[in-house]
Structure formats: structure tokens, C-alpha cells
């Protein structure tokens, strides 16, 4: 059974509700997964936007949230996550914070990739790693991956 990632807030390739963005409450959406393979010791969640700053001419991938060392038995993250599962650590997003930062595109409709990785190890405490540092530490340890893509376009005023 393949590993899957979903949200009760939006379907795959669906619009992310405003409450999870900078125009709303800017809280993390609920996420749930299944099919974590046997032998998994930890999970990593990376949420990023490859369409920054403009989907017509993307220049960077903007990182919104990094979680690592999630216990493989967790199965879900609640909406507006305030308390991390035991052992879970956070990396630094592109706002230089260790928390969720919701969609806030300056122009156009952006895609937000929610990527979940099952690892065969628990990573060392990396401090407040960047996405690149986290991905480097993950190399050679990924057993499975699941992805959920949401979209968002800021309201024009």
C-alpha cells in the first residue's frame, strides 16, 4: 500500500481555504497520512511553494514549514497545530521562523506542495535547519514519499 497524504480542508490540487493563509488566520491545515512503510523510524514534512514570486516567472522555492523526526505512528497533524508530537523538531522557514507560515503569494495562483517522507532513521537534532540542510540529512534514508498539492491566489482589493 503506497503512503498517502491528505487534508480534510482541501483536496489534492484544490484551493487552500483562506483561513490557512496570510489573509486569514494563518494557521496550519489538518493533515493526515497512511501507508507508512514498515521499518520507518521517523517522518519529515516539507511545505513549499515553487512558484515564487510569480508563477509566470518563478525564481525561488519558498519554504513554508519544516517538521522532522515526527513519530511514524502519528498519523495526523491537527488544524492549528500548537503542540508538536513527542520528539518532533522544526526547521527554519523562509520567514526565518520555526513555525507554519501560510500561503501569501504576491501575484497569481501558486502551488503549495505538502511533502511527507518516511525515513529509516531518526535524524540528529539539526538545530533550526533550512530545507537544504534537512534534505541533505535525509539523503539515503527515504523509504517512501507522499505529496498533497494545494493552490492559492490572494484576494484582489
Cis previous bond, 53, omega within 30: yes
pLDDT profile of the chain (157 residues), mean per 10: 96 98 97 98 98 95 98 97 96 96 96 98 97 98 98 82
- Domain extent, residue 133, equals 4-152
pLDDT of residue 156: 63
Tell me if 142 is assigned to some domain. yes
Tell me if 51 is assigned to some domain. yes
* Number of domains, the chain: 1
pLDDT of residue 1: 80
Tell me if 17 is assigned to some domain. yes
Cell numbers linked to 143: 523509504
pLDDT of residue 140: 98
CA-nearest of 139, 138, 10, 154 to 70 is: 138
CA-nearest of 108, 17, 118, 31 to 72 is: 118
Tell me if 126 is assigned to some domain. yes
Cell numbers linked to 115: 511533502
Cell numbers linked to 117: 517522507
- Here the CATH number for the domain that contains residue 97 is 3.90.280.10
Cell numbers linked to 120: 529509516
Tell me if 157 is assigned to some domain. no
**Number of C-beta neighbours around residue 82 at 10 A:** 7
Collapsed DSSP state (helix, strand, coil) of residue 139: coil
Tell me if 26 is assigned to some domain. yes
Collapsed DSSP state (helix, strand, coil) of residue 58: coil
Amino acid at each position: 500500500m503506497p503512503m498517502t497524504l491528505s487534508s480534510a480542508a482541501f483536496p489534492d490540487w484544490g484551493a487552500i481555504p483562506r483561513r490557512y493563509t496570510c489573509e486569514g488566520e494563518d494557521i496550519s491545515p489538518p493533515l493526515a497520512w497512511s501507508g507508512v512503510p514498515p521499518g520507518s523510524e521517523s517522518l519529515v514534512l516539507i511545505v513549499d511553494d515553487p512558484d515564487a514570486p510569480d508563477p509566470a516567472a518563478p525564481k525561488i522555492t519558498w519554504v513554508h514549514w519544516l517538521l522532522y523526526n515526527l513519530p511514524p505512528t502519528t498519523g495526523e497533524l491537527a488544524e492549528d497545530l500548537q503542540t508538536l508530537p513527542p520528539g518532533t523538531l522544526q526547521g527554519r522557514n523562509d520567514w526565518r521562523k520555526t513555525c507554519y507560515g501560510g500561503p501569501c503569494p504576491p501575484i497569481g495562483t501558486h502551488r503549495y506542495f505538502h511533502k511527507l517522507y518516511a525515513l529509516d532513521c531518526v535524524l540528529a537534532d539539526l538545530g533550526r535547519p533550512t530545507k537544504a540542510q534537512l534534505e541533505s540529512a535525509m539523503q539515503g534514508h527515504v523509504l517512501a514519499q507522499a505529496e498533497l498539492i494545494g493552490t492559492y491566489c490572494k484576494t484582489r482589493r
